[in-house]
Structures are given as C-alpha cells and as structure tokens.
Amino acid sequence: MITFSDVSKTYQGETVLGPVSGTIAAGGITSVIGPNGAGKSTLLSIMGRLLEPTTGTVTIGDAVVRDTATKDLARIVSVLRQDNTLTARVTIRELVSFGRFPHCGGRLTTRDHAQVDRALDFLHLDALAGRYLDQVSGGQRQRAFVAMVLAQDTPYVLLDEPLNNLDLKHSVAMMGHLRRAADELGRTIVLVVHDINFAAAWSDDIVAMRDGRIVVGGSAGDIMHEDILSDVFDTRVRVHAIDGTRTAVYARPRDEAYAVDSGRPRRVADM
C-alpha cells in the first residue's frame, strides 16, 4: 500500500498542498479527482519523488520514498508525468525499452526484451513498434509512454493524466488496458484523471481533492454522490445510475438562466 503522512508543498510561502495524510490500498486502481489547482499532480509527483515535499513522509510498500536509493525505488514504483516530451528521435520500441533501464542500465538482456515485447503487446503497439514517435498520432504516443511505464515492471504505477490526447474511443481503451494491468498483472495503479465518469467506471477507489486538501476518499460507489461531487467541484452535479454505474452530469434547471462570475454559476435574475 501507499501511505502518506502530513505531506505538504509550499512555493514562496504559498502552500499548494496539504498537509494531507492517507492510505491507498495495494492492488486495483485508485483515481485522484478534483478541479484544476486542487493539488492532484503535486501529490502524485511527491509520491513518485519527482517533487520533494516541504513536510511529511511517503511510504510505498516497505520503502520510505525519501530514504530509498533511486535505483531501488525505480524497481518499486514507475511514474508517468502529465507532459511527456523527448528531444531525441526514437522509435516506439526504443521508447518502451527505456522502461527497462532500472533493471539493466541500458544493456537489455533477453528478459528485458521479453518485457518490452510484453508491454508492446499489452498496449496493442506491436505493429507500430518500428515507427518513430513523430510518425504516430498523439494518442498512439500516449499509449507508448504508458507501455514504457508498464515495461518497467514495478508493482506500483503512478500516472498523471494518462488520457491526455486521447479521444473517447481510445480513452475507453486505455482505461481498459489499465484495468487489465491491475487485474492480470497485479499492479497497484494510481492515476490523476479529470473525467470523473472514467474514474467511476474503471476505478476501485477514488480520492477527491480541492484547494490542496483531500475532501473525501473511498470506493467509487461511495464518492459518486451529488452532494460530494457538487462540493468538490463547486458546481451543481447530478448523478444517475446507468447500466449499474453511477454517472455524473452537470445539469442546469431548464427554467433558469445562469451566468458565470468568478467560477460560480448565478441566476441572471440575481445579478
């Protein structure tokens, strides 16, 4: 499991996260949701040691993140940033092979090549393996970066906005791949995602954040309620059960007109 205690992050005297404490269960998918600026990516980056916390401690499995050697930590947790760019021109296979660096130092063994092949197959990238990243679509590049993370073969996987650049069809496919990775490969997957309905449909647990704090955490079914989501997003949300899954929609009453002021909807009649 992942445990974080009194974690905070401050920039130039302004606290953008925390302090927050909590536990993410081992196994399955946990989605972190919330509005822009809620602290979701900051928390995920601290978990993966991409950011140093101002205060607090993170433990992944038996490893204290702050005290674990980089090489050892890279065999426990893999991280996908929100923005991924490469200046070098590499093929998809070469990119996915980078995930094996913590295990082989760049000299791939037969086992490393097998893990790369497995990741390519898992994300249905076999036919594109020889293409350069600039020769494929944004969605295919995103799948390649996720394949690289899976090729790292860590028990814990942290993904910041893995649905970036993906249309509806490929977002559904990506969440299906991640669900399979959790169920078939035994990975513990934590992802930041903006679409709360994808979180509801594919996650075991949801952590909802706002203003640098954790508002609530629990099973997807427990979090997908109108009062909770309306509070988290400061927007009136309606939740309906569709095919057994709770689905959130923004609903404006038909008999009222609204204008937006400072992010809060107000009746035109009240202005």
Tens digits of residue pLDDT in 56-76 = 999 999 999 999 999 999 999
Output the pLDDT for position 260.
Answer: 52
End-to-end CA gap in the chain: 49
Output the pLDDT for position 261.
Answer: 54
With 80 as the cut, is the pLDDT of residue 166 above it?
yes
With 60 as the cut, is the pLDDT of residue 93 above it?
yes
Helix (H) or strand (E) holding 183: helix 168-184
Helix (H) or strand (E) holding 116: helix 110-122
Token pair listed for 221:
């079914």
| Per-chain mean pLDDT for the chain | 89
In angstroms, what is the C-alpha Rg of the chain?
A: 20
The H helix count followed by the E strand count for the chain is 10, 14
Length of the chain: 271
How does DSSP assign 208-254, residue by residue? Answer: EEETTEEEEEEEHHHH--HHHHHHHHTS-EEEEEETTEEEEEE---T
The percent of residues above 90 in pLDDT, for the chain, comes to 72
Domain range list for the chain? 2-76+155-237, 83-153
Gap between the Cα atoms of 81 and 165, Å rounded: 14
Look at strands 55-60 and 2-11 and give their pairing.
Answer: antiparallel
Specify the pTM: 0.86
Output the pLDDT for position 252.
Answer: 64
Output the pLDDT for position 268.
Answer: 47
Three-state secondary structure call for residue 77: strand
Token pair listed for 270:
């009240």
- Which residue, among 140, 127, 194, has the nearest Cα to 169 in the 3D structure? 140
Output the pLDDT for position 269.
Answer: 46
Q: Convert the pLDDT of each residue in 220-269 to its tens digit.
A: 999 999 999 999 999 889 999 888 888 998 766 555 555 555 555 554 44
Check: CB of residue 271 under 8 Å from CB of residue 263: no
Token pair listed for 257:
């007109």
With 50 as the cut, is the pLDDT of residue 271 above it?
no
Mean pLDDT to the nearest integer, 119-126: 92
- Which residue, among 162, 178, 108, 95, has the nearest Cα to 135 in the 3D structure? 95
Output the pLDDT for position 87.
Answer: 66
Please say whether the structural domain 2-76+155-237 has been given the CATH code 3.40.640.10: no
Gap between the Cα atoms of 48 and 192, Å rounded: 13
Helix (H) or strand (E) holding 265: strand 264-267
Output the pLDDT for position 130.
Answer: 95
CA 123 from centre of chain: 17
Output the pLDDT for position 259.
Answer: 53
With 50 as the cut, is the pLDDT of residue 41 above it?
yes
- Which residue, among 211, 221, 168, has the nearest Cα to 38 in the 3D structure? 211
Output the pLDDT for position 137.
Answer: 87
